[in-house]
């Protein structure tokens, strides 16, 4: 049996606004992409003997004439429109299609209108049933586990599928699934359950060892959670990474209220294990007017940087608690906190979340054109702005923050936060490796590479 996977294209933040490329020195910060972990994980979970092939629409045209017994399309919301159209092309040829990933899990009934089947949540434990039904010609629509498995021990992702990508040269590593926090804007508890299941530390280390890159991103935010269970796991993992001498740099994400609980000892452990950057997300968990008034977060930022960890801030605009004038407050905060790299996003209610349902009940969802749900477009009616005013604020923040920063300075900041190797790109025209000379020079002086 042959299963063919397709990864649909989508627009990153500033790809939706190409007019800013010549105006914003940090344009690359708002346009880079990382490869997906979903399809490599799903492909690795297939039973032995199944042939696998793959196409990435972000690299160009998808050839729908390929022969396969089943086409699997994994995607998140801003890819959904392309995914639906791709599925139609394969189904028109009589090839059954199955959807998986975040968007299909959040809105399976809608997705099923465009596919023969939908895998909801984790695909491990579902493939045998799915492939048996494919052989019989009896795909049953929605496939889901009755409950998430009690333990997490996935096979090593089939990352070789993305070997020809033009994405950042960095890996994505999963350490857990699920989350105990029922945040109304978040998809994780719906997709993976409300209990955190940790991946064995030994498996995580082996995954890191096999990465073809010297950098990786930890995809799970619980590494900074300070409850006993999460902290014990994080300490074991970080010590194991340090003792294994993997010499790989890594990055992770957090929210301000979580970072402020991290003490100096924990931040030092993070740094010694190879953490170079914390991607700090403002404006999602609460209004910016509240978060930016918390000086304890600035103290936490400075503690992290004193430990050798850079902060890249992602600032979300459009929270109901924020109104006109927030732009000046943001820039004042960035200057006070001495932030070097910042991206700006527009609040985006993800379908299937409590936030989306609440806005829908209030009649504030403006569109279901999923292509626009990439945090660079206004897809809901803000409480204190017109949609046009919020869009203008978003564009203005990018221009104002980077107005006095030249491109060479941005490169230095970028390399300091990510390490040089992440800037090595594969030329889309020639298909050969292209190197940033600034990145190469600085990278040679870094112990983590």
Token digits of residue 359:
């806005």
Per-residue pLDDT at 170: 83
What lies within 8 Å, CB to CB, of 205 at 6+ separation is 240, 241, 244, 246
d(CA 170, CA 373): 25
CB 169 within 8 A of CB 425: yes
From 128, 144, 160, the end of a domain falls on 144
In this structure, are 380 and 254 located in the same domain? yes
Closest among 101, 76, 12 to 345, alpha carbons compared: 12
Residue 53 lies in a domain: yes
Same domain membership, residue 252 and residue 110: no
Q: Considering the domain boundaries, does residue 158 fall inside one?
A: no
What CATH number is attached to the domain comprising 347? 3.20.20
Q: Record the pTM.
A: 0.90
The verdict on 177 and 121 lying in the same domain is no
pLDDT tens per residue, range 261-319: 999 999 999 999 999 999 999 999 899 999 999 999 999 999 999 999 999 999 999 99
Chain-centroid distance, C-alpha 231: 23
Q: Answer yes or no: is 154 within a domain.
A: no
Report the CATH number at residue 72.
3.40.50
- Rg over alpha carbons for the chain, rounded to the nearest Å, is 22
pLDDT at 90 over 70: yes
Q: Are strands 433-434 and 425-426 parallel, antiparallel or unpaired?
A: antiparallel
Q: Do 178 and 132 sit in the same domain of this protein?
A: no
> Would residue 151 count as lying in a domain?
no
Tell me how far apart the alpha carbons of residues 377 and 379 are, in angstroms, rounded to a whole number: 6
Residue-wise pLDDT for 11-69, tens only, equals 999 999 999 998 999 998 888 888 889 999 999 999 999 999 999 999 989 999 999 99
**217 with 252: CB under 8 angstroms?**
yes
Task: Verify that 422 and 329 share a domain, yes or no.
Answer: yes
Q: Taking all residues of the chain, what is their mean pLDDT, rounded to a whole number?
A: 90
> 30 lies in which domain range?
2-144
131 and 203 co-located in one domain? no
pLDDT of residue 214: 84
* Same domain, yes or no: 65 and 191: no
Note whether 116 and 237 are same-domain residues.
no
Residues in the chain: 449
Asked if the model's pLDDT at residue 260 lies above 60, the reply is yes
What residues have CB less than 8 Å from 69, skipping those under 6 apart? Answer: 1, 2, 3, 95, 96, 134, 135
Find where tokens 């945090």 sit: 375
DSSP three-state, residue 217 = strand
Please give the structure tokens belonging to residue 327.
């732009």
Distance from C-alpha of 344 to C-alpha of 351, rounded to nearest angstrom: 21
Clarify whether residues 190 and 282 are in a common domain. yes
Q: What is the largest CA-CA distance in the chain?
A: 64
H-type alpha helices, 318-386: 326-337, 354-361
Total domain count, the chain: 2
pLDDT digits (tens, 9 = 90+) for 415-435: 888 876 565 443 333 333 333
Q: Is residue 150 situated within a structural domain?
A: no
Angle between helices 201-210 and 228-244 (to 10 degrees): 40
- Does residue 159 belong to any structural domain of this protein? no
Determine the 3-state secondary structure of 79 from DSSP: helix
Q: Choose one of 109, 144, 179: the last residue of a domain.
A: 144
Higher pLDDT, 392 or 221: 392
Name residue 118's beta-bridge partners. 99, 142
Are 182 and 270 in a shared domain? yes
Report how far residue 266's alpha carbon sits from residue 415's, in angstroms, rounded to the nearest whole number: 24
pLDDT band at 146 (very low <50, low <70, confident <90, very high): confident
Question: Same domain, yes or no, for 386 and 243?
Answer: yes
In a domain, 18, yes or no: yes
Could you tell me if 89 and 15 lie in one domain? yes
- Per-residue pLDDT, averaged over 336-341, amounts to 95
Which residue, of 144, 177, 193, is where some domain finishes?
Answer: 144
In contact, 168 and 197? CB cutoff 8 Å: no
Is residue 449, in this structure, part of any structural domain at all? Answer: no
């Amino acid at each position: 049996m042959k299963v063919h996977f397709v990864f649909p294209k989508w627009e990153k933040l500033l790809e939706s606004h190409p007019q800013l490329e010549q105006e914003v020195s940090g344009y690359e910060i708002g346009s880079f992409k990382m490869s997906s972990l979903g399809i490599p994980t799903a492909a690795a979970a297939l039973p032995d003997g199944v042939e696998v092939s793959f196409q990435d629409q972000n690299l160009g045209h998808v050839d729908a004439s390929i022969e396969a017994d089943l086409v699997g399309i994994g995607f998140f919301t801003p890819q959904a429109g392309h995914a639906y159209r791709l599925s139609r092309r394969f189904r028109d040829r009589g090839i059954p299609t199955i959807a998986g990933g975040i968007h299909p899990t959040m809105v399976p009934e809608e997705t099923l209108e465009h596919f023969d089947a939908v895998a909801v949540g984790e695909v491990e434990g579902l493939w045998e049933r799915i492939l048996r039904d494919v052989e019989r010609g009896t795909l049953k629509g929605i496939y889901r586990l009755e409950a998430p498995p009690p333990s997490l021990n996935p096979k090593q992702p089939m990352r070789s599928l993305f070997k020809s990508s033009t994405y950042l040269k960095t890996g994505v590593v999963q350490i857990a699934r699920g989350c105990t926090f029922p945040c109304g804007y978040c998809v994780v508890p719906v997709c993976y359950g409300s209990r955190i299941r940790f991946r064995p530390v030994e498996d995580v280390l082996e995954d890191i060892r096999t990465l073809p890159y010297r950098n990786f991103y930890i995809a799970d935010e619980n590494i900074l959670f300070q409850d006993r269970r999460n902290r014990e796991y994080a300490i074991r993992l970080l010590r194991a990474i340090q003792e294994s001498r993997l010499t790989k740099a890594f990055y992770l994400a957090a929210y301000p209220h979580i970072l402020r609980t991290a003490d100096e000892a924990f931040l030092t452990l993070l740094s010694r294990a190879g953490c170079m950057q914390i991607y700090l997300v403002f404006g999602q968990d609460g209004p910016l007017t509240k978060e930016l008034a918390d000086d304890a977060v600035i103290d936490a930022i400075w503690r992290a940087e004193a430990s050798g960890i850079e902060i890249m801030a992602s600032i979300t605009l459009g929270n109901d608690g924020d109104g006109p004038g927030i732009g000046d407050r943001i820039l004042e905060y960035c200057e006070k906190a001495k932030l070097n790299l910042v991206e700006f996003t527009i609040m985006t209610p993800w379908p299937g979340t409590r936030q989306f349902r609440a806005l829908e009940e209030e009649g504030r969802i403006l569109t279901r054109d999923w292509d626009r749900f990439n945090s660079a477009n206004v897809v809901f009616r803000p409480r204190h702005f017109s949609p046009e005013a919020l869009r203008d604020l978003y564009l203005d923040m990018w221009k104002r923050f980077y107005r006095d920063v030249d491109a060479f300075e941005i490169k230095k900041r970028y390399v300091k936060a990510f390490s040089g190797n992440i800037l090595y790109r594969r030329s889309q025209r020639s298909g050969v490796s292209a190197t940033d000379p600034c990145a190469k020079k600085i990278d040679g002086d870094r112990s983590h590479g």
